[in-house]
Every structure is written in structure tokens, then in C-alpha cells.
């Protein structure tokens, strides 16, 4: 069975991953960049890895607490539905990432995708230009759900801003470009189409959804920044709907993200139109989760006598509810 897929068929270099299981940005290793990977973990088994997002300059991030619950492993064991994080894009900055982290990624037997966030289209352009000639990653993922200082909005909330950012990056990089969109928009279709029109090679859908929770004992918010991003099971049906809608609107590949803890949940995204998926919260609960999900998904598809991934992508669009 062939599980490989080209996530950038319109790019001259392409982006062929050997299977649809990818690790979402910020969830790999103890620092999000790959430290603390278990001994014996064969990274070549994975479709791709997206290390934690980097910005033009280093950021300290949001005040503590940054996670709810504090242990995603315990939350998974207790079947929690609410997973919140408020990291605030804490990172060493792109210069440090390119000089210190990229050489480490280059030693991995895995496809690595660099995640970028910026304050303006021009800054996105500058950062993408800085990646030229650097080894250690094969594509760029644009995190468009960060605050846009110039307009006070989110890039991914505006079709025009999305188009402007993607155009700016495409003018400064030949690497395949993935565009990560936000879930909290009235209609994702015009934004997805804008990204495609500007030259995006694939869409990542979706980022976390703004949310908060209050501790009724202390009467205080559970996160230091008050609000954070909802991931895990609570995001799953939201992200599925966004992938389903976007699949009907664009022709470029879609990467589904949101609450994937099992092969069942990964398969749902593929059926709705995703060409691959990213594992996030489940990876924070168990670093071996992506490997387990891949093994279970492979067994399930083999049991259905699927010969290649294309046979299952988007099938739900041709099915009538029972």
C-alpha cells in the first residue's frame, strides 16, 4: 500500500511525504524543536515534522501558567475534552533557529518544515529570504494566526492580508509554502481561495481556537494570559468542518489538524478532504502517539484493501448521511 502524497504538486520541487502523519508545530520534544526525543524513535517513519514557530526576533512568550491541564498525559487518561495553551510564540528568533537548530534537523532522517510567524507581510518576506541556502528543512509553513501589529487584526482573518503575505513569501522563496489558517472566521472559503490564488502550495487547517477557562475555586482564569488556544478533542469537529468546506473550494492539498488522538480521527480528516494530518495535543501527551496512529491507520486501510491514499481522500463528499 502506498501512503505517500505530494503536498506541493504545483511547486517544481514538490513536497512528497512518505505517509500522511505529521507532527504539528510546537509539539515535538520538550522544547518544541526536538529535544528529548526518545531513544529508538525512528523519525523516518513519520511523514513530516514541523518544529515550533519562529519569529524575526526572539520572544519570551506569555506569563505562566501556559498550559491547561498542566499534564496532557493525565488529561488524555481522564478523557478530558478541553486542552488550552497560551505559549505566546516563545522562541529564540529565526537567526538562532537557522544557525543552531537547522543543523540538528539536517541530521534527522525526516522531512522537516520550518514554521514562520511575523508582524507584517514585509517581515514575512524578509524571513523567507533569510532561509535561502539553509539546509535542515524542505518547506515553509506560514503561521497566519499571530497578531498583525500593522492592522491590529490576524492575517488569517482577512483574505486580502492572507493574499499579501503569501505573495510576499513566494517572491522571496522557492520552497513549498504551506499556509496555516485560523478556525475563528465567519467563512474560511474566501481566505483559503486567497491563499491558493497567491501561490500557496497547501493549506494547514486549522490553528487553535481562542478560548478560556476559569477555576471556580480561586475564581481566576487558569491561564496567565487569560485566554489561550483550544486544541484537542474540543477542536476536532470544528477543524473537520473547515477542512470539508475548504476541500470544496480549492484544488491544492489540505493538511488537517485538530484533536487527532487515534487512527479513527486521522481517517475522518482524510475522508473530509485532507491529504495528510498533523498530530499536536496527542504528541504532548505521548511522544510515541504519532507512530502508534500511523501503525493503526496503516492496518485499518490495509483491512479495507486500500491501495493508495488518493482512494480515501474526500470520499465523504460523495456520501449521503445514513
Give the active site residues: 146
Distance CA 85, CA 54 (A): 17
- Cβ neighbours for 109, distance < 8 A, ≥ 6 positions apart: 42, 43, 44
Strand partners, 254: 203
> Which of 284, 294, 258, 247 has the alpha carbon at shortest distance from 1?
294
Phi, psi of 151 (to 5 degrees): -115, -10
C-alpha cell at 15: 513536497
Strand partners, 279: 23
Phi, psi of 6 (to 5 degrees): -95, 110
To 10 degrees, the CA torsion angle through 222, 142, 46, 314? 100
Amino acid at each position: 500500500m502506498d501512503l505517500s502524497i505530494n503536498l506541493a504538486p504545483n511547486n517544481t520541487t514538490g513536497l512528497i511525504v512518505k505517509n500522511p502523519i505529521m507532527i504539528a508545530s510546537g509539539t515535538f520534544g520538550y522544547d518544541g524543536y526536538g529535544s528529548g526525543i526518545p531513544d529508538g524513535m525512528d523519525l523516518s517513519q513519520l511523514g513530516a515534522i514541523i518544529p515550533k514557530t519562529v519569529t524575526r526576533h526572539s520572544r519570551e512568550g506569555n506569563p505562566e501558567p501556559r498550559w491547561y491541564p498542566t499534564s496532557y498525559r493525565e488529561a488524555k487518561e481522564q478523557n478530558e475534552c478541553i486542552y488550552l495553551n497560551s505559549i505566546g510564540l516563545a522562541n529564540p528568533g529565526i537567526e538562532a533557529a537557522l544557525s543552531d537548530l537547522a543543523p540538528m534537523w539536517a541530521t534527522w532522517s525526516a522531512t522537516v518544515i520550518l514554521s514562520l510567524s511575523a508582524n507584517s507581510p514585509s517581515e514575512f518576506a524578509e524571513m523567507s529570504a533569510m532561509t535561502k541556502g539553509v539546509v535542515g528543512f524542505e518547506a515553509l509553513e506560514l503561521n497566519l494566526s499571530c497578531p498583525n501589529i500593522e492592522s491590529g487584526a490576524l492575517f488569517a482573518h482577512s483574505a486580502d492580508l492572507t493574499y499579501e503575505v503569501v505573495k510576499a513569501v513566494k517572491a522571496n522563496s522557492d520552497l513549498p509554502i504551506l499556509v496555516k489558517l485560523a478556525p475563528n472566521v465567519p467563512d474560511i472559503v474566501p481566505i483559503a481561495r486567497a491563499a491558493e490564488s497567491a501561490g500557496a502550495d497547501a493549506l494547514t487547517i486549522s490553528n487553535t481556537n481562542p478560548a478560556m477557562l476559569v477555576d471556580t475555586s480561586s475564581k481566576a482564569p487558569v491561564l496567565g494570559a487569560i485566554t489561550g488556544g483550544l486544541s484537542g478533542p474540543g477542536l476536532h469537529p470544528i477543524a473537520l468542518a473547515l477542512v470539508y468546506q475548504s476541500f470544496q473550494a480549492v484544488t491544492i492539498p489540505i493538511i488537517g489538524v485538530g484533536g487527532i488522538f487515534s487512527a479513527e480521527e486521522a481517517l475522518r480528516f482524510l475522508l473530509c478532504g485532507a491529504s495528510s494530518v498533523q498530530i499536536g495535543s496527542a504528541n504532548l501527551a505521548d511522544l510515541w502517539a504519532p507512530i502508534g496512529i500511523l501503525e493503526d491507520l496503516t492496518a485499518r486501510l490495509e483491512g479495507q484493501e486500500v491501495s493508495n491514499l488518493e482512494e480515501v481522500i474526500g470520499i465523504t463528499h460523495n456520501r449521503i448521511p445514513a
